[in-house]
Structure formats: structure tokens, C-alpha cells
Amino acid sequence: MTRIVLFGTGSPVVADVEESLHRAGTIIAAGISNRPAPSQLSNGIPVTEADKVSAELLSLPYLVPLFSPGNRRTAFEEAARLGLKTPFTLIDPTAILPRALELGDGSYVNAGCVVGSRVRVGAFGFLNRGALIGHDLEAGTFVSIGPGAVIGGNVTLASGVLIGAGAVVLPKIVIGENAVVGAGAVVTCDVAAGAVVAGNPARPMPQQTGN
Ligand SMILES: CC(C)(COP(=O)(O)OP(=O)(O)OC[C@H]1O[C@@H](n2cnc3c(N)ncnc32)[C@H](O)[C@@H]1OP(=O)(O)O)[C@@H](O)C(=O)NCCC(=O)NCCS
């Protein structure tokens, strides 16, 4: 059985990752704690401080269980500095995938996602529970799509974009780097880099910057 480590143990996302790993027949050898927060891992799974990680753990593939693109990017940089070398890509076995899916290293596809044809997602992507991804999506690195979001066909998401839970993005929309789409928003026109939009139809929120 494949064994991996989780880098970062404080996010509630850990619970879903544990379930997906269980369904996929993959074992968590240990969690690596990178912040002084209580571990969200189930009892019995060992947690190691980042400065006390063994060479054996450093040799294993690793996954960063964090949803926010900014936090995930920072954690991946920390993991690389620590000496972790092989990002693990986790696809929950309940996801429905197309024949041709390009999914970058270190990505996570959570339970119940339905991914359309010819989708491309860059490294360290996160498709959360039950997201519906339209055909021909072009997504950059560190893109996070929230639970139950609906992404139309031919959408482009630049690096670091966060799509909130249940948001709807209409076909052919282009969303700029590090932009945030609020939960439940309906995006009917392109979104500028760094913008935060919410509502139906989605409008920029005042005095906000992206994640
Ligand atoms: C849009 C968002 C980024 C704004 O976050 P924020 O800057 O912390 O905003 P606040 O919570 O301070 O709210 C500011 C105002 O916007 C409103 N608001 C917040 N989120 C909203 C949303 N999704 N749709 C509509 N209005 C929203 C608030 O009610 C508040 O209104 P008020 O000023 O009249 O009281 C955030 O609310 C959001 O939707 N994030 C996505 C989270 C998500 O879905 N994650 C996936 C989980 S896995």
C-alpha cells in the first residue's frame, strides 16, 4: 500500500483527505505540523513537528491539506524547503473523470466531483466535494474550487483563483490571477486579477484583495 505524509495538520480539510485516502487505499504514515494549531488528524495517526521530521518521512510523497490557495502555496514552499520532494496527487475514487484529464502534481480531487472532457488543472489544484467542472476548463496552479461549485464549459481560471462553495461560473468566463469568487456567486462576466466578487450577478466587493 502507498504511504504518504500530510504537510499541515490544522485544517478541517484533513478530515476529507483522510476519507479520500482511505477509499483510495493509501495510508497516512504521519502528519507534519507546520503551525502551532491542534491536529485535525484522527487519533492514532502520529504527528511530527516540522523540525523533527525523520529522513524516512521526508522520502515519502506528501500532500498539503489546505483549501485556500495562498495558504497552500506557502505550505508547499515550506515543505520543499524542509526536504519533501514528491507531491502526491489524490483523486477520490468516487469522482467521475474524463478519459483525458491533465491534473498537475500535488492536486486533490475530493469525493463526488464530476469533471468534464478535456479539462486541464495545473499543479497543486483542489477540486472540492461535489464540484461540477465543465468541459475544456483551463486552470492554472494553486486553483481551488469549492464544494458544489458549477463551472461552465470553456472557463479559464488563472493561478491562485478561489471559487467559493456553490458558486456558478458561466461558460467561457475568464477569471484573473488570485481572484476570489464568493460562496453562492453567479459569475456572468470576466473577473479581474486580484478581485473579490460575490452575489448574483457577481459584483466586485469594495476594498478587497485576492487571496
Ligand atoms: C466573499 C468572501 C471572500 C468575503 O469574505 P470577507 O472579506 O471576509 O467578507 P465578510 O465576511 O467581512 O463580509 C463582508 C460583507 O459581504 C457579505 N458577504 C460575504 N460573503 C458573501 C457572499 N459569498 N455573497 C454575498 N455576500 C457576501 C457579508 O454579509 C458582509 O455584508 P455586510 O457588510 O452587509 O454585513 C467570503 O465571504 C466567501 O464567500 N468566501 C468563500 C468561502 C468558501 O466558499 N470556501 C469554500 C470552503 S471549502
- Band of the pLDDT at 206, cuts 50, 70, 90? confident
pLDDT of 169 over the 60 cut: yes
Cell 497516512 appears where? 28
How far, CA to CA in Å, does 141 sit from each of 35, 121, 210? 23, 7, 15
The pocket around ligand 1, CB under 6 angstroms, is made up of 67, 128, 146-147, 164-165, 180, 182-184, 196, 198-199, 208
- Band of the pLDDT at 63, cuts 50, 70, 90? very high
28-48 pLDDT tens trace: 999 999 999 899 999 999 999
Ligand 1 center to residue 131 CA distance, Å?
19
The mean of the pLDDT values for the chain is 96
Which residues are identified as catalytic? 135
Ligand 1 atom 37 nearest Cα: 182
- Band of the pLDDT at 207, cuts 50, 70, 90? low
Q: DSSP string of 133-176?
A: E-TT-EE-TT-EE-TT-EE-TT-EE-TT-EE-TT-EE-TT-EE-
Residue 1 is predicted with a pLDDT of 84
Ligand 1 center to residue 198 CA distance, Å?
7
Q: Which atom of ligand 1 is nearest to the CA of 13?
A: 48
Number of H helices, E strands in the chain: 3, 22
The whole-number average pLDDT for the span 118-127 is: 98
How far, CA to CA in Å, does 143 sit from each of 51, 111, 146? 29, 17, 10
Choose which residue among 16, 205, 209 to substitute to test ligand 1 binding: the one with the highest number of ligand atoms within 8 A of its C-beta.
Answer: 205
pLDDT of 51 over the 70 cut: yes
Ligand 1 center to residue 182 CA distance, Å?
6
Cell 483523486 appears where? 91
The whole-number average pLDDT for the span 132-154 is: 98
Amino acid making up residue 108: Y
How far, CA to CA in Å, does 200 sit from each of 5, 112, 181, 211? 40, 25, 11, 21
